[in-house]
């Protein structure tokens, strides 16, 4: 059974640009969560989606947005990139929110220059 | 607001020794997770603990949960180099997202 996949794996952008990251959950999983990981702040929750609806949103500015499609695949977008957005962005999926272990993808390493 | 604290944040162990990583959390919890992360890699699920007194073991790792003390421990027995990684605990308190600890960077040396 394939795991969570994320594309692209690495990205280099410059300040002011925007970026879209993609996540395909494990087959059958309908809940997708996104996290930002940085050395200073650790793992911070960004969003959670279930059945195309955003259930929770973390304490991030409106430049961070996301969505989930009917096939449970999810995307997140960051507009007007800042240097501080450089991080590893992790996607995790589970069958249902709140009740199941989340399985993490390999992450997208975003570098903002 | 749920807060999760791990200690120590850094741990250097000799091979063959035992040690314990602690995870304290501030509110009631539905479940507690332990994850492992190797450098440059993603998070791998190790254990999920659901109830007071729960104990799970896999190889040289054993996790336990005391919900009254709001404390989970990850005990490492007879450490080997392959256990070198960063270990995270994460707490789920219901309809709120998972909250992670800062992680414990474990280095097992010969």
**Tens digit of each residue's pLDDT (9 = 90 or more) over A30-47:** 999 999 999 989 999 999
How far is it, in rounded angstroms, from Cα B63 to Cα A91? 25
Beta B31-37 vs A19-24: how paired, if at all?
unpaired
Per the structure block, which two tokens stand in for B5? 């604290």
Chain B from 50 to 89: CB within 8 A of any A CB: 88
Task: Choose between B93 and B35: higher pLDDT.
Answer: B35
- What local confidence, expressed as pLDDT, does residue B1 receive? 84
- What local confidence, expressed as pLDDT, does residue B53 receive? 86
Closest CA–CA distance from residue B42 to any residue of chain A (Å): 5
A56 CB neighbours in chain B (<8 A) are: 95-97
pLDDT (tens digit per residue) in B63-99: 999 999 999 999 999 999 999 999 999 998 877 788 9
- What local confidence, expressed as pLDDT, does residue B30 receive? 77
Of A43, A98, A103, the CB nearest to B92: A98
The arithmetic mean of pLDDT across residues B35-48, rounded, is 93
Four-point Cα dihedral A67, A69, A74, A75, nearest 10: -50
Q: Model confidence at B28, in pLDDT bands (50, 70, 90)?
A: confident
Chain-chain contact of B88 with A43 (C-beta, under 8 angstroms): yes
> What is the residue-averaged pLDDT of chain B?
93
Neighbours of B28 (CB within 10 A): 11
- What local confidence, expressed as pLDDT, does residue B75 receive? 98
- What local confidence, expressed as pLDDT, does residue B94 receive? 74
All residue ranges of chain A with pLDDT < 70 are 1
- What local confidence, expressed as pLDDT, does residue A1 receive? 65
Q: Is the pLDDT of residue B109 over 90?
A: yes
- What local confidence, expressed as pLDDT, does residue B93 receive? 81
């Amino acid at each position: 059974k394939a795991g969570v996949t994320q594309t692209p794996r690495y990205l280099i952008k410059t300040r002011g640009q925007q970026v879209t990251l993609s996540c395909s959950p494990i087959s059958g999983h309908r809940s997708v969560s996104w996290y930002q990981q940085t050395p200073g702040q650790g793992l911070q929750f960004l969003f959670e989606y279930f059945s195309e609806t955003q259930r929770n949103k973390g304490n991030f500015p409106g430049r961070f947005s996301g969505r989930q499609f009917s096939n449970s695949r999810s995307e997140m977008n960051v507009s007007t990139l800042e240097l501080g957005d450089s991080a590893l962005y992790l996607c995790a999926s589970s069958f249902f929110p709140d009740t199941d272990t989340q399985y993490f993808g390999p992450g997208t390493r975003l570098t903002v220059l | 607001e749920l807060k999760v604290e791990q200690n120590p944040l850094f741990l250097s162990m000799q091979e063959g020794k035992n040690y314990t990583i602690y995870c304290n959390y501030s509110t009631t919890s539905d479940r507690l997770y332990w994850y492992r992360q190797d450098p440059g890699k993603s998070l791998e699920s190790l254990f999920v603990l659901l109830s007071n007194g729960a104990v799970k073991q896999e190889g040289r790792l054993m996790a336990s949960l005391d919900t009254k003390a709001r404390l989970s421990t990850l005990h490492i027995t007879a450490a080997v180099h392959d256990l070198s990684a960063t270990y995270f605990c994460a707490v789920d308190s219901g309809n709120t997202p998972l909250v992670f600890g800062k992680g414990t960077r474990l280095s097992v040396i010969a």
